[in-house]
Structure 1
Amino acid sequence: MVEVPDVPAPRRSLLHCLAFLVYLWTVTPVRRLLGYEPIVPESSIRTEIGVRFIRYSIENSLEGARAFEAATSKLVSMSVPDKLTPVEDDGIRGVWIGDEYESGHDGSNEPVIVYFHGGGYSTCSALTYVTGLSGIRKALKKIHNINMRIFSLEYSLAPESKYPTQLNEAIAAIEYVAKEYPNRPIILMGDSAGGNLVLAVLQTLKKSPSDKLPWLKLYLIHAVDKAKELKNRVSAAILISPWVDIVIPPTSHEANHAYDFTSIHTLKRMTQWFLPDGADVKDPLLSPVFADLSGFCPMFIHYGGRESFASDIERFIEAAKKARPALSLDVFVEPKAPHITPMMPPFFPDMAERGHVAIAHFVAKLISS
Structure 2
Amino acid sequence: MSKEQRAKVDAMMREPRPASRSVDEWRAGFMSLQSRNLVPEGVRTSEATLGDRRALLIEPSEAVRPGTILYFHGGGYVLGAPETSLSITANLVVRSAIRSLSLDYRLAPENPFPAAVDDCVNAYRTLLDSEDSGPVALAGDSAGGGLAVATALVARDLGLPVPAAITTFSAGLDLTLTGASMETKAGIDPLFTKERLQPFLDLYCAGQDLKTPLLSPALFADLAGFPPVLLQSGANEVLLDDATRFAARALDAGVEVILDVTADVPHVFQAFAGILDEADNALARAALFLAQHLDTDPALVAARTSTNPSEVTVR
- For 1:258-297, what per-residue CA distance to the aligned partner results, in whole angstroms no more than 9, with x for missing partners? 22212433311111101144x2111111100111111001
Aligned residue number for residue 217 of structure 1: none
Aligned pair 1:240/2:176, yes or no?
no
Separation in structure 1 between the aligned mates of residue 149 and residue 18 of structure 2, nearest angstrom? 24
Aligned pair 1:150/2:150, yes or no?
no
Q: TM-score, normalized by length of structure 1? A: 0.71
Aligned pair 1:251/2:180, yes or no?
yes
Aligned residue number for residue 126 of structure 2: 176
Aligned residue number for residue 295 of structure 1: 225
Which of 312, 316, 334 is residue 242 of structure 2 equivalent to?
312
Shift of 1:101: 8.4
Tell me the amino acid that sits aligned with residue 365 of structure 1.
Q
Separation in structure 1 between the aligned mates of residue 130 and residue 166 of structure 2, nearest angstrom? 19
Which of 8, 13, 26 is residue 65 of structure 1 equivalent to?
26
Aligned residue number for residue 125 of structure 1: 81
> Comparing 183-192 with 151-160, which one deviates more in the overlay?
183-192
Separation in structure 2 between the aligned mates of residue 183 and residue 312 of structure 1, nearest angstrom? 31
Tell me the amino acid that sits aligned with residue 47 of structure 1.
V
Q: How many aligned positions are there?
A: 291
> Comparing 283-292 with 171-180, which one deviates more in the overlay?
171-180
- For 1:30-83, what per-residue CA distance to the aligned partner results, in whole angstroms no more than 9, with x for missing partners? xxxxxxxxxxx9984313323313xx3486522322112334556768875521
Cα distance change on mapping 1:179 and 1:67 into 2, 3 Å? same
Cα distance change on mapping 1:342 and 1:186 into 2, 3 Å? same
Aligned residue number for residue 57 of structure 2: 96
Separation in structure 1 between the aligned mates of residue 152 and residue 51 of structure 2, nearest angstrom? 23
Separation in structure 1 between the aligned mates of residue 172 and residue 227 of structure 2, nearest angstrom? 18
The residue correspondences of 1:173-322 to structure 2 (distance < 5 A) are: 173-182=123-132, 184-208=134-158, 227-228=159-160, 231-232=161-162, 234-248=163-177, 250-260=179-189, 261-277=191-207, 279-289=208-218, 290-322=220-252
Contact 2:39 2:91 in 1 (8 A): no
Q: Secondary structure at the residue paired with 2:56? A: strand
Shift of 1:329: 1.1
Shift of 1:335: 1.6
**Which protein is bigger by CA-based radius of gyration?**
1
Separation in structure 1 between the aligned mates of residue 89 and residue 180 of structure 2, nearest angstrom? 28
Cα distance change on mapping 1:78 and 1:283 into 2, 3 Å? closer
Aligned residue number for residue 221 of structure 1: none
Separation in structure 1 between the aligned mates of residue 283 and residue 269 of structure 2, nearest angstrom? 10
Tell me the amino acid that sits aligned with residue 235 of structure 1.
A
Separation in structure 1 between the aligned mates of residue 5 and residue 19 of structure 2, nearest angstrom? 21
Cα distance change on mapping 1:349 and 1:204 into 2, 3 Å? same
Task: Mark the runs of 5 or more structure 2 residues left unpaired by the alignment.
Answer: 299-315
Contact 1:59 1:266 in 2 (8 A): no
Cα distance change on mapping 1:44 and 1:243 into 2, 3 Å? closer
Aligned residue number for residue 7 of structure 2: 45
Contact 2:44 2:61 in 1 (8 A): no
**Which structure has more strand as a fraction of its residues?**
2
Separation in structure 1 between the aligned mates of residue 18 and residue 82 of structure 2, nearest angstrom? 17
Percent of residue pairs bearing the same amino acid type: 24
Cα distance change on mapping 1:177 and 1:111 into 2, 3 Å? same
Aligned residue number for residue 82 of structure 1: 43
Separation in structure 1 between the aligned mates of residue 94 and residue 133 of structure 2, nearest angstrom? 23
Cα distance change on mapping 1:151 and 1:59 into 2, 3 Å? farther
Separation in structure 2 between the aligned mates of residue 89 and residue 100 of structure 1, nearest angstrom? 22
Tell me the amino acid that sits aligned with residue 201 of structure 1.
T
Cα distance change on mapping 1:42 and 1:344 into 2, 3 Å? closer
Separation in structure 1 between the aligned mates of residue 18 and residue 143 of structure 2, nearest angstrom? 15
Separation in structure 2 between the aligned mates of residue 316 and residue 151 of structure 1, nearest angstrom? 25
Separation in structure 2 between the aligned mates of residue 149 and residue 58 of structure 1, nearest angstrom? 37
Which of 130, 134, 138 is residue 94 of structure 2 equivalent to?
138
Aligned pair 1:332/2:260, yes or no?
yes
Q: Secondary structure at the residue paired with 2:196? A: helix
Cα distance change on mapping 1:165 and 1:129 into 2, 3 Å? same
Cα distance change on mapping 1:72 and 1:47 into 2, 3 Å? closer
Task: Mark the runs of 5 or more structure 1 residues left unpaired by the alignment.
Answer: 1-40, 141-146, 209-226
- For 1:74-133, what per-residue CA distance to the aligned partner results, in whole angstroms no more than 9, with x for missing partners? 67688755211122465221100115886xx8xx6x321000011110011111021122
Cα distance change on mapping 1:315 and 1:179 into 2, 3 Å? same
Cα distance change on mapping 1:80 and 1:42 into 2, 3 Å? closer
Tell me the amino acid that sits aligned with residue 308 of structure 1.
V
Cα distance change on mapping 1:282 and 1:184 into 2, 3 Å? same
Cα distance change on mapping 1:148 and 1:286 into 2, 3 Å? same
Tell me the amino acid that sits aligned with residue 187 of structure 1.
A
Question: Aligned Cα RMSD in Å?
Answer: 2.7
Shift of 1:314: 0.9
Separation in structure 2 between the aligned mates of residue 78 and residue 310 of structure 1, nearest angstrom? 26
